[in-house]
């Protein structure tokens, strides 16, 4: 079933390197320009279409650059506040509230030899952080929504982090 795309900037397109490794996410407008200038080729289309008076154009979901872009290998995503908030989708990992005003919480407190690492730090709202204090989640009778983990890949876009990815992209993204 086809859907007419409401805005060229509303949807996102995954850009793959010539080797099929994920590079970036761009707007539909940028993806169409890359296709029109023959810099990239279609790999997967979405259910969306663009219409003009004379043509119907399938909106790409995944495109691949025709020339390989050499980039330094990314072994790990940098550990910092911004990336922890991105990984946790700006959501408190205890109560589930979404906010732009979150703190970081050490699951195992630093006073108990807890490390400042991907596996021990989560996004947390001020209320939950004050309630948990210097205790473990079990001692504070709080439960994590999701166990913290080190992400293997994170999109860097001008539009911020994409909270839900297109299921079509899954086969092109690193597992984990």
Residue 12 has pLDDT above 70, yes or no: yes
- Among residues 118, 91, 96, the alpha carbon closest in space to that of 107 is found at 118
Residue 2 has pLDDT above 70, yes or no: no
Give the residue ranges of DSSP H helices in 9-165.
28-36, 81-87, 126-132
> In this predicted structure, what is the pLDDT of residue 85?
93
Q: Hey, how many other C-beta atoms are within 10 angstroms of the C-beta on 98?
A: 13
Q: What is the mean pLDDT of residues 10-28?
A: 88
For the chain, domain boundaries = 3-71, 81-132
What is the Cα Rg of the chain in Å?
20
Contact in structure between 142 and 122 (CB atoms under 8 Å): no
Q: What is the mean pLDDT of residues 144-165?
A: 70
Q: What is the DSSP letter of 1?
A: -
> In this predicted structure, what is the pLDDT of residue 77?
77
Q: What is the DSSP letter of 68?
A: P
Contact in structure between 39 and 45 (CB atoms under 8 Å): no
pTM > 0.85: yes or no:
no
**Up-side HSE of residue 139: CA atoms within 13 Å toward CB?**
10
Q: Provide the CATH topology of domain 81-132.
A: DNA Binding (I), subunit A (1.10.30)
What mean pLDDT value characterizes the chain?
87
The top-scoring range by mean pLDDT among 72-86, 109-123, 138-152, 159-173 is: 109-123
């Amino acid at each position: 079933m086809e859907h007419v795309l409401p805005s060229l900037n509303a949807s996102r397109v995954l850009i793959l390197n010539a080797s099929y490794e994920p590079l970036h996410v761009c707007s539909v407008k940028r993806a169409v320009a890359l296709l029109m200038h023959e810099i990239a080729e279609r790999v997967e289309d979405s259910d969306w279409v663009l219409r003009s008076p004379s043509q119907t154009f399938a909106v790409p979901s995944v495109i691949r650059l025709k020339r390989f872009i050499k980039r330094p290998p990314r072994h790990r995503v940098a550990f910092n506040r911004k990336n922890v908030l991105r990984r946790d989708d700006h959501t408190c990992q205890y109560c589930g509230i979404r906010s732009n005003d979150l703190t970081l919480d050490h699951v195992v407190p630093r006073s108990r030899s807890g490390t400042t690492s991907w596996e021990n730090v989560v996004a947390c709202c001020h209320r939950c952080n004050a309630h948990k204090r210097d205790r473990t989640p079990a001692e504070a009778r709080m439960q994590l929504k999701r166990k913290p983990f080190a992400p293997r890949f994170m999109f860097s876009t001008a539009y911020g982090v994409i909270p839900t990815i297109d299921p079509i992209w899954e086969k092109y993204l690193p597992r984990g």
